[in-house]
Amino acid sequence: MSNHQAWLSLIEFIRRHYQRSEGLIPLHAPCFDESEKRLVVDCIDSTFVSSVGQYVTEFEQQIADYTGAKHAVAVVNGTMGLYLALKVIGLQPNDLVITQSLTFVATPNAIKMHQADPVFVDVERETLGLCPQSLNQFLTEQTHQQNGQCVHRQTGRVVRACVPMHTLGFSARIDALLEICNRHNLALVEDAAESLGSFYRGKHTGRFGQLGVFSFNGNKVITTGGGGMLITDDAELARHAKHLSTTAKIPHAWLFEHDEPAYNLRMPNLNAALGVAQMQKLPLFLAEKRRLALAYQQQPGLVVQAESPNTQANYWLSTLICQDQTERDVFLEFSNTQAIQTRPLWTPMHQLPIYADCLRSELPNTEWLAARVVNLPSGVKCRV
């Protein structure tokens, strides 16, 4: 089968699946019905629409229960969740944080907000996530231990943490990454923004490091419009994160006293009401996305990313692997012209001018994937 025939067959399959013979089929649209409207109206009627209200507490408990985490802290978005997670693990100005270049720009941005710098190591083709071998090689060759800290030999800067991302909902080999981080005295913060509903060896992503952070942006598996969530099993990290997210206000019935410089990062109750309703549908969303992903994988003449052994992906975005960048670009043009919204991966961070001068290892897999990956429509079919 030629590429053009395979692509035509794919377009026909997508239109059949979404039961739309014409018009735009988006990459990943949210799915709402009367249950979201009912809870949002209830929140409005309560007048508690800002950062205090029953739905914030309920949504936090739902996420904690679903992931198995002991604590969850709701925040305004995933980017600020990462910022807050790095704050509570002790990231300092001029520190270094190891992450991947194949990520959304929020990951290094959260590091730069602390006046620290990202270090980019490679990813794996099999998982799309940070590569344990690349991480270990960088740490072995370029750092040493000094007074219980990991220090970059050439610059003398402290390497404080590692932030792997579970890319597109495919779990990184997080147990291997954790072992390496522990050996080199690095904090591990999981960028789990895209991976609600993803598991590694039966344990939910975000629960291997000191903290994990989810996003509930409008294009995620479930959405609160905007919003994010930190999860952790560490009671003190959770307490500190929540305290900082609420301007470090000392609890009191009427006095306004604050005990450290802090932020207004708490998720509004109005957004949390949306999340509470969405969480009721999460199992159905995941099951439908899995059926779609498996159907994509069976399309003739195509290579579509599948979950790795010992993992359960949420298949947030199904992922087509093209032969090279030329084929990728031709397919992107073809599919979008057909009103099928597809997109490439993000431009790798080390190729952006704002991060081009950061320390990095060799990144062959990062560049290989960035040149070939196309994300296919992956939203669930709303039954309104």
* Percent with pLDDT over 70 in the chain: 99
Last residue of a domain, one of 280, 302, 321: 280
pLDDT at 220: 97
69 and 12 assigned to the same domain: no
pLDDT at 4: 84
Would you place residue 218 in the very low, low, confident or very high pLDDT band (cuts 50, 70, 90)? Answer: very high
Q: Cβ neighbours of residue 324 under 8 Å, at least 6 residues apart?
A: 371, 372
Q: How many angstroms separate the CA atoms of 355 and 106, rounded?
A: 12
115 and 257 assigned to the same domain: yes
Last residue of a domain, one of 262, 280, 298: 280
207 and 328 assigned to the same domain: no
Q: Classify residue 58: in a domain, yes or no.
A: yes
pLDDT at 384: 41
27, two tokens: 């990459």
Q: How many angstroms separate the CA atoms of 332 and 374, rounded?
A: 8
Q: How many angstroms separate the CA atoms of 35 and 7, rounded?
A: 37
Q: What is the mean pLDDT of the chain?
A: 97
pLDDT digits (tens, 9 = 90+) for 233-252: 999 999 999 999 999 999 99
322 and 258 assigned to the same domain: no
Q: What is the CATH number for 300?
A: 3.90.1150
2, two tokens: 């030629």
303 and 170 assigned to the same domain: no
130 and 227 assigned to the same domain: yes
pTM of the model: 0.96
Q: Classify residue 353: in a domain, yes or no.
A: no
pLDDT digits (tens, 9 = 90+) for 72-112: 999 999 999 999 999 999 999 999 999 999 999 999 999 99
288 and 235 assigned to the same domain: no
Q: Classify residue 231: in a domain, yes or no.
A: yes
Q: How many angstroms separate the CA atoms of 363 and 365, rounded?
A: 6
Would you place residue 364 in the very low, low, confident or very high pLDDT band (cuts 50, 70, 90)? Answer: very high
Would you place residue 382 in the very low, low, confident or very high pLDDT band (cuts 50, 70, 90)? Answer: confident
75 and 222 assigned to the same domain: yes
140 and 69 assigned to the same domain: yes
Q: How many angstroms separate the CA atoms of 53 and 57, rounded?
A: 7
Would you place residue 3 in the very low, low, confident or very high pLDDT band (cuts 50, 70, 90)? Answer: confident
Q: Classify residue 383: in a domain, yes or no.
A: no
Q: How many angstroms separate the CA atoms of 379 and 353, rounded?
A: 32
Number of domains in the chain: 2
206 and 328 assigned to the same domain: no
Q: State yes or no: pLDDT of 58 exceeds 50.
A: yes
Q: Classify residue 358: in a domain, yes or no.
A: no
Q: Classify residue 258: in a domain, yes or no.
A: yes
Q: State yes or no: pLDDT of 383 exceeds 90.
A: no
Q: Where are the alpha helices (DSSP H) in the chain?
A: 3-18, 34-46, 54-67, 78-88, 106-112, 132-142, 174-183, 235-245, 269-279, 282-297, 325-337, 364-370
Give the structural domain span for 203. Answer: 34-280
Annotate 303-370 with three-state secondary structure.
CECCCCCCEECCCCCCEEECCCHHHHHHHHHHHHHCCECCEECCCCHHHCHHHCCCCECCCHHHHHHH
In residues, how long is the chain? 384
Q: State yes or no: pLDDT of 285 exceeds 70.
A: yes
pLDDT at 1: 57
121 and 148 assigned to the same domain: yes
Last residue of a domain, one of 231, 249, 280: 280
> What average pLDDT score do residues 194-208 get?
98
Q: How many angstroms separate the CA atoms of 230 and 133, rounded?
A: 27
Would you place residue 115 in the very low, low, confident or very high pLDDT band (cuts 50, 70, 90)? Answer: very high
Q: What is the CATH number for 270?
A: 3.40.640.10
276 and 151 assigned to the same domain: yes
Q: Classify residue 41: in a domain, yes or no.
A: yes
- With CA atoms as reference, report the closest residue to 81 among 101, 60, 57: 60
Q: Classify residue 357: in a domain, yes or no.
A: no
Q: Are 189 and 120 in contact (CB under 8 A)?
A: no
Q: Cβ neighbours of residue 293 under 8 Å, at least 6 residues apart?
A: 304, 306, 313, 315, 318, 378
> What average pLDDT score do residues 150-160 get?
98
pLDDT at 51: 85
